[in-house]
Structure 1
């Protein structure tokens, strides 16, 4: 646990609504200093009016590396340092991969993955020179599981998880802590955005993507996690120096990830002999290929 008590300086992407806004409000209410970013900073005017010099609102499209560097500079100019980066901006659209326009697929990857890369790259030199800091990547349980219809979104979140694991090792020697936070369902606008432009499904995708859409309709409004509680937890984590590279949030995230890990372990055991058969030292007859249930 960190013994530091002075207020921290936060940079939060995607602060206009949902979890990003909840994190900004929670940090500000706790006396922290915040650079809250959004594509349109006018959406943050009420927070700026309320908290005055404790906050800066900045325009940021996370796919723009130059804008990311400018947002970090805003924190330095206003508060002299940067302690906590929250990479929250992101979105997903539901559609079969075959029916996902290439431009939409790329836009999801650019925002959900390269947006994280851009802002992290901009912040790292500051955190390294300070010899301290926290980076929280708002990922998803979909960064360790999969669901038909979310190919671009979940591909990006899986990439965020791998990126986080690597840089958490690189940054640990100079006391910068990196964690991918992986919530399940939260009561935010994510589901509405995800279902905003669903194409008429090809009949062949009804059993897979169609099933997800049915589940989503039942899910909206009944999500497990409270964004306010998530934001309060992130505030606590920012003062803790012993964090894992991945942290699931929500009982549903625990359930879905646990089921996925069990299935992976079963596959790995069933195919163990096949996996080992490619070694130079392997001998004997080729193992039979298992039949999956």
Structure 2
């Protein structure tokens, strides 16, 4: 039967590719999305190694219920892929407070809900891997990405510390930080823009929206390749704690590291 995988946000995009890659590798996959029908539309009907379940990750009780159902049926969850999320793309002042809080409710607190439900079973077995789909935007922020990056920076900080808490119990962590992937992440199914009109930002926002429209569907990163890499890393006994995927992501992350080195050195020079 192989390992038991639980993948959130599996009806489309990277989550769908990860679920498919794990299944093709002989693993048993429980694929979740807010609608189980959405998962079945992507994969077809359930079979011995592929099961679709409905899960809205912001519902902590639903997360507990799904995890209990999976453990009761299969006896374990070996790999959790915390993938579900979306992006608020736009300038910070154009977002309502409710929109910003919703971004954190899904990307951070929803991800925490699923981990909180799964981890006790992994600790009990002294085994397991948590794959958290972050983004290079969890390392580097820019104009138009402040709110989304803030949620991913928070995910990074949480998992970096949580991973150290879990390590003594044999539970491993992999933070995945992709660059721009050719998925529907930038279309209206996954991305949302600010609703407050601020004339000072009008020209910059128009340019940013044009960039997003042009980039959508033309991103350099191959989600199938990333999915295959994640499945391969999950099979290793000593997987890295971070995996930066894509030339764009590595360039941005390296530039950020170089900038931080310079600023740290400058701070020392100034006493």
**SS of the residue 1:178 aligns to:** strand
In the superposition, the TM-score normalised over structure 2's length comes to 0.92
Task: Report how many aligned residue pairs link the two structures.
Answer: 270
Q: Deviations over 1:229-268 (max 9, x none)?
A: 1111111111112233221111110011111222222222
- The more displaced of 239-248 and 76-85 is 239-248
Matching residue of 1:103: 98
In the superposition, the TM-score normalised over structure 1's length comes to 0.86
Matching residue of 1:266: 262
- State the distance in 2 between where 1:157 and 1:164 align: 10
- State the distance in 1 between where 2:138 and 2:40 align: 33
2:62 to 58, 67, 87: 67
Question: Which structure would you say has the larger Rg?
Answer: 1
- The more displaced of 141-150 and 46-55 is 46-55
1:77 to 58, 66, 72: 72
- State the distance in 2 between where 1:272 and 1:97 align: 32
Distance apart, 1:77 and its partner CA: 2.0
**SS of the residue 2:175 aligns to:** strand
Distance apart, 1:59 and its partner CA: 1.2
- 1:161 paired with 2:162, answer no
Distance apart, 1:207 and its partner CA: 6.3
Distance apart, 1:152 and its partner CA: 2.2
2:169 to 160, 163, 174: 174
- State the distance in 2 between where 1:234 and 1:143 align: 18
- 1:213 paired with 2:209, answer yes
- 1:223 paired with 2:219, answer yes
- 1:129 paired with 2:119, answer no
Q: Deviations over 1:188-233 (max 9, x none)?
A: 1111136554547533225654443343233222212111111111
Distance apart, 1:165 and its partner CA: 1.1
> Quick check: 2:31–2:53 contact (8 Å CA) kept in 1?
yes
1:113 to 96, 99, 108: 108
User: Residues 38 and 195 of structure 1: is their aligned pair in 2 closer, same or farther, counting only changes over 3 Å?
Assistant: closer
> Quick check: 1:148–1:209 contact (8 Å CA) kept in 2?
no
> Quick check: 2:132–2:175 contact (8 Å CA) kept in 1?
yes
Matching residue of 1:287: none
> Quick check: 1:35–1:74 contact (8 Å CA) kept in 2?
no
> Quick check: 1:39–1:59 contact (8 Å CA) kept in 2?
yes
**SS of the residue 1:271 aligns to:** helix
> Quick check: 2:132–2:174 contact (8 Å CA) kept in 1?
yes
Note the aligned Cα RMSD (angstroms). 1.9
Query: Please, which runs of 5 or more residues in structure 2 have no aligned partner?
Result: none
Runs of at least 4 residues off by over 6 Å: none
Distance apart, 1:46 and its partner CA: 4.3
Distance apart, 1:68 and its partner CA: 0.9
- 1:255 paired with 2:242, answer no
